[in-house]
Amino acid sequence: MRRIWGVAAWFCGILFFLPVAWMVLTSLHSESDAATNPPSLAAPLTFDGYAEFFDAGAWPPLINSFSASIGSTIIVLLLAIPAAYALSIKPVEKWTDVLFFFLSTKMMPVVAALLPIYLIAQFAGMLDNISFLTLLYCSMNLPIAVWLMRSFLSEVPREILEAASIDGAGLITILRRIVAPVAMPGIAATALICFIFSWNELLFARVLTGVVAGTAPVYLTGFVTSQGLFLAKVCAAAVVVSLPVLIAGFAAQDKLVQGLSLGAVK
């Protein structure tokens, strides 16, 4: 019985993996081998597709994506950690209303905010500007970050906080010595989730950026349109654009699991 479940588990995993396997395999083929259908497993492997992708000017959009994702993740953490701490300590009554307000903004269809945000960017003279996109990603990730962080910070035992406070420890000491060690895995998980969400965002990047501030996903959509016939090259591009989130995801698979399930349920 156990064996059957094991086989079934493998089968499901492989089924989910197939399109990705196809992408990685095709990206390592020469264009003529990539054109065969179904893809040949025996064909020689080459990095030509990758070389051509980088030669085609892939660096600026990749750098844009990195600055928007990393920048917004850092700002989100700087804003979300104090906010979540204050919310989990609950010095004010009706604090849960604030929390629900945070969460409720996640129910808004993003497409509904598209036009006003475009007009704001236009008004501020910040169309095609990566700083604007960074700030926008901050606000989009803040609700979920506060929500996640709060559930991690509620794990800090209240009695220890009280004991430290009575012993005369100040706020900074409490945060550094008691809260930080318990909350570190949560902070890491939140950061990775924010990074992945910002890196993958397409709708706003597509509408708000142009030649200067275009991000990697935007560049990839253009690349698919213009180079669609060159399967190997496009697959190489797709692998490169996926790589940062894949690394982020697998660096913290367990934390990701913990973070998602905690944040969603509590």
Partner 1 sequence: MDSSGLDSSGLGVRRAVGFVAPALVLIGVFLVFPALWTLYIGITNYQLTGPAAANPRVVGLDNVVNAVRDPLFTNSVWLTALFVLGSAVIGQNVLGFGLAWLLRTVRPVLRRTVEGLVLLSWILPGTVVAYLWFAVLSRDTGTLGMLLGSPRTAWLVQYPMTSLIIFNVWRGTAFSMLLYTSALAAVPPSQLETARLAGASGWQTVRDVVFPHIRGHVLTNTLLISLWTANDFTPFLLTAGGPNHRSEVLPVLIYRQALESGQLGYASAMSMLLLVGNLVIALVYLRLLRRRA
Residues 145-204 that bind partner 1 (CB under 8 A): 146, 158, 161-162, 165, 169-171, 174, 196, 199-200, 202-203
Which listed residue (32, 38, 42, 211) binds partner 1 by CB under 8 A?
38
Query: Is residue 131 part of the contact set for partner 1 (CB under 8 A)?
Result: no
Place of tokens 């020469």: 30
Which listed residue (28, 130, 208, 256) binds partner 1 by CB under 8 A?
256
Q: Map the footprint of partner 1 across residues 214-233, applying CB under 8 A.
A: 216-217, 220-221, 224, 231
Q: Measured from the CB of residue 144, what is the shortest distance to partner 1 in angstroms?
A: 10
3: exposed, middle or buried (Cβ count in 10 Å: 0-12, 13-18, 19+): exposed
Helix and strand element counts for the chain (H, E):
14, 0
**Cα 257-82-157 angle, rounded to 5 deg:** 65
Task: Kindly tell me which of 45 and 266 has the beta carbon lying closer to partner 1.
Answer: 266
Q: Map the footprint of partner 1 across residues 110-129, applying CB under 8 A.
A: 110-117, 119-120
Quick one: DSSP state of residue 56? Answer: T
Query: Is residue 213 part of the contact set for partner 1 (CB under 8 A)?
Result: no
Residue 131 vs residues 66, 112, 142: alpha-carbon distances, Å: 12, 22, 16
| H or E element that contains 20 | helix 2-27
Q: Measured from the CB of residue 136, what is the shortest distance to partner 1 in angstroms?
A: 6
Task: Kindly tell me which of 57 and 157 has the beta carbon lying closer to partner 1.
Answer: 157
Q: Map the footprint of partner 1 across residues 62-91, applying CB under 8 A.
A: 79-80, 82-83, 85-87, 89-91
Residue 84 vs residues 69, 93, 99, 153: alpha-carbon distances, Å: 21, 15, 9, 7
> How many chain residues bind partner 1 (CB under 8 A)?
94
Q: Measured from the CB of residue 99, what is the shortest distance to partner 1 in angstroms?
A: 10
Task: Kindly tell me which of 35 and 74 has the beta carbon lying closer to partner 1.
Answer: 35
Task: Kindly tell me which of 14 and 51 has the beta carbon lying closer to partner 1.
Answer: 14
Place of tokens 């939140």: 190
Query: Is residue 45 part of the contact set for partner 1 (CB under 8 A)?
Result: no
- Contact 206/196 with Cβ under 8 angstroms? no
The identity of residue 66, as a single letter, is F
Q: Measured from the CB of residue 194, what is the shortest distance to partner 1 in angstroms?
A: 13
Residue 72 vs residues 133, 134, 195: alpha-carbon distances, Å: 9, 5, 8
Reading the block at residue 221, the tokens are: 């959509």
